[in-house]
C-alpha cells in the first residue's frame, strides 16, 4: 500500500455546463480534486471556461480545484487562478516562457504549481525542473478534447518521471489525464501515476460518485499488488 492516498480528479469538461454546481456536488465526498480544463482556442482548438467561472464555482464547493490551463501565455494568466483559490494550477511546458519563474509565482500566490506535458512532448528535458513543481501532468491523449482514446505508449513518460522522482526523492504528484477509465487506470497506476483525471468515465456514469470510488479502488489495488521495477509504489508522496 502507498502511504498517501491516490488522487482521483473528475474533469468537469464532461459535465453539464448548464448545471455546473450540481455536477460538482455530485462528486463531493468522493473526489479528491476537481479538475478544471481551461482552453483558449489558441493553445488548443477548443474553447471552454475561464477565470470568472472558476471564481464562481470556487464559492459553490469545498473540493480543491486542480486547474489545467491549456492556454497560450500562461506566464500572464496563470497566477489569477491561484489567486482565485485553486489548490493546484498546472500550465503547459510547451506554452510557458519561464516555467520555473511561473511556478515560483504560483506558489507565492498560494497554490501548488503543476507542469503539463502534451502528447508529442518528451518528458526528459523537463525532469531537471521538477524540484520547482508539486505536480507533473502527463497527457495520455492529445490535449484539447474529452472522450479520446487512452494512448498506452505515453505511460513510458510516466515510468521515466517516476524513476526520476524516486531517485531524487522529490515530493511530486504524477498526474495522468486523458482516457482514464475502469479499463485503463490500473496500467497508469502501475506505471507510477498517483493522481488520475477522469472526465467521461465519471460524468458519463449513472452515479458519478460511485464511478470515482471505483476508479480509486482499481488504482489502489493495482499499486498494492504490483510495485514493479518502474518504481511504482516505492516512493509515496505526502502531498495531497
H or E, element range at 92: strand 88-92
Q: Does residue 200 touch ligand DX5 according to CB under 6 A?
A: yes
Q: Tell me whether residue 134 is one of the annotated catalytic residues.
A: no
Q: Give the range of 22-30, 36-44, 152-160, 188-196 binding Zn ion by CB under 5 A.
A: 36-44
CB of 72 to ligand DX5, least distance (A): 15
Q: Does residue 66 touch Zn ion according to CB under 5 A?
A: no
Q: Which string of DSSP letters, residue by residue, matches 114-136? A: EEEE-TTS-SGGGGGGGGG-SEE
Identify the bridge partners of residue 37 per DSSP, sorted by sequence position.
Answer: 68
Contact 40, 72 (CB under 8 A): yes
CB of 8 to ligand DX5, least distance (A): 11
Q: Does residue 40 touch Zn ion according to CB under 5 A?
A: no
Task: State which of residues 6, 7, 13, 165 lies at the interface with ligand DX5 (CB under 6 A).
Answer: 13
111 carries a ligand binding annotation: no
d(CA 92, CA 90): 7
Query: Which set of grid coordinates corresponds to residue 121?
Result: 512532448
d(CA 205, CA 186): 19
Q: Tell me whether residue 183 is one of the annotated catalytic residues.
A: no
Which residues are documented as binding site for substrate?
11, 68, 144-147, 177-179
Where does this chain bind Zn ion (CB under 5 A)?
Answer: 37, 68, 177
Task: Return the active site residues.
Answer: 37, 177
Amino acid at each position: 500500500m502507498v502511504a498517501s492516498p491516490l488522487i482521483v480528479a473528475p474533469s468537469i469538461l464532461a459535465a453539464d455546463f448548464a448545471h455546473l454546481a450540481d455536477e460538482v456536488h455530485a462528486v463531493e465526498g468522493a473526489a479528491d480534486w476537481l479538475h478544471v480544463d481551461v482552453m483558449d482556442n489558441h493553445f488548443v482548438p477548443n474553447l471552454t471556461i475561464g477565470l470568472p467561472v472558476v471564481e464562481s464555482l470556487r464559492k459553490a464547493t469545498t473540493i480543491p480545484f486542480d486547474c489545467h490551463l491549456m492556454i497560450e501565455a500562461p506566464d500572464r494568466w496563470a497566477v489569477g487562478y491561484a489567486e482565485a483559490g485553486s489548490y493546484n494550477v498546472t500550465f503547459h511546458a510547451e506554452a510557458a516562457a519561464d516555467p520555473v519563474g511561473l511556478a515560483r509565482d504560483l506558489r507565492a500566490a498560494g497554490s501548488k504549481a503543476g507542469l503539463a506535458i502534451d502528447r508529442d512532448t518528451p518528458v526528459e528535458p523537463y525532469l531537471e525542473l521538477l524540484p520547482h513543481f508539486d505536480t507533473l501532468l502527463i497527457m495520455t491523449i492529445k490535449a484539447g478534447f474529452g472522450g479520446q482514446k487512452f494512448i498506452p505508449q505515453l505511460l513510458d513518460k510516466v515510468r521515466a518521471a517516476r524513476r526520476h522522482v524516486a531517485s531524487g526523492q522529490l515530493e511530486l504528484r504524477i498526474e495522468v489525464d486523458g482516457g482514464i477509465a475502469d479499463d485503463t487506470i490500473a496500467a497508469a497506476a502501475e506505471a507510477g501515476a498517483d493522481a488520475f483525471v477522469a472526465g467521461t468515465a465519471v460524468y458519463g456514469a449513472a452515479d458519478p460518485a460511485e464511478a470515482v470510488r471505483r476508479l480509486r479502488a482499481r488504482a489502489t489495488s493495482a499499486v498494492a499488488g504490483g510495485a514493479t521495477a518502474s518504481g511504482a509504489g516505492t516512493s509515496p508522496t505526502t502531498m495531497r
